[in-house]
A and B are shown apart, each in its own frame.
Chain A
């Protein structure tokens, strides 16, 4: 399987997990695959889709509804910087 085909399969699984599996499975898988693919922006889109489908403005977050998306952006930036300092040949 080519890397591109593998990535497409992973994307389908990730977006399927948003619809059918507990939210933390999808976000955890996205975080894991972030270290195996370059520019793994699917991680951000999975969080955005979760927020668009399930989130509502709540008192707990002062009416802000994109909590998971904002967390994902923070993690994405952190992991991007972290990847820069990792030297494993399997990471891209």
Chain B
């Protein structure tokens, strides 16, 4: 006899449902074990397997860009040359200014008896960036084989952006100071006067901080890491808060935006 309704409570269905939940339970146990025993080797296997694909993807992207560049017209190339020359002139001015500031900075550090910290460090290519990562981290093409260690400082040019938080054999994971929930101590500088405050990372190179209304501040003020008071780290991008509120909210943006980065340098502590 043919039935026109589904047997939703059949033994097969029950077995299927418990089968699915059983898999979830096994997975939950795996996660708990991983959380307590820090299964580094499992992460290393994943990173080792993924690294060739990341490198391959970067190579394909570069090749496609080259092929597309081959088909551009002469006028487009001429326009590009003019734009690049103008940009080069601006960059040259910035470079000279930065060189002068670095020399001054280095001289001041020597006077204060601190390490100049001018070592080149290890330059590593970025394999994966947010938003591929849900945790605002990047994966670098350098790992334990290159003597990278957890806690090493990571710079974008001269700006300290974060620290190495996971090290695998050939890759490492960097946590930015701006990762959501990360709290750092910074100093705001307004007309030469510094004010220390705790800033909280918001992701995407942004931070948020709150200061009493009486503290003099303005948009564009420099922000320094408290542990590195001589090096600019970020700027105040915006200030909000009405006259009736006792505190103002500061929106701070790093001098080294994560978007568009291709290389970072790692400095061993």
For the complex, count residues of B whose C-beta is within 8 A of A: 41
**Which B residues are CB-close (under 8 A) to A57?**
165
What separation, in Å, do the CA atoms of A27 and B160 have in the docked complex? 32
Given contacts A21-B132, A23-B133, A69-B31, contact A53 B24 (CB under 8 A): no
From residue 14 to 59 of chain B, which have CB atoms closer than 8 A to chain A? Answer: 16-17, 19-21, 23-24, 27-28, 30-31, 34-35, 42-43, 46-47, 50, 53-54, 57
Q: Nearest chain A CB to B232's CB is how many angstroms away? A: 25
Within 29-76 of A, Cβ neighbours of B (below 8 Å) are at 38-39, 41, 44, 48-50, 52-61, 64-66, 68-70, 73, 76
Interface residue tally on A, bucketed by range: 35 or more
Interfacial residues of chain A within 5-42, with CB under 8 A of chain B in the complex: 16, 18-24, 38-39, 41
| In the complex, residue of chain B having the shortest beta-carbon distance to the beta carbon of A26 | B132
Chain B residues with CB below 8 A from A69, complex form: 27, 31
Count how many pairs of residues, one from A and one from B, have CB atoms less than 8 Å apart in the complex.
110
A sample of 19 inter-chain contacts (CB < 8 A) reads A19-B53, A20-B57, A20-B132, A23-B134, A39-B20, A50-B133, A52-B47, A53-B47, A53-B50, A53-B128, A56-B135, A56-B137, A56-B165, A56-B166, A56-B175, A76-B24, A80-B24, A84-B17, A87-B8
Interface residues of A (CB under 8 A from B): 16, 18-24, 38-39, 41, 44, 48-50, 52-61, 64-66, 68-70, 73, 76-77, 80-81, 84, 87
Where the two chains meet, the residues of B that have a C-beta atom closer than 8 Å to any C-beta of A are 6, 8, 13, 16-17, 19-21, 23-24, 27-28, 30-31, 34-35, 42-43, 46-47, 50, 53-54, 57, 128, 131-135, 137, 139, 165-166, 173, 175, 179-183
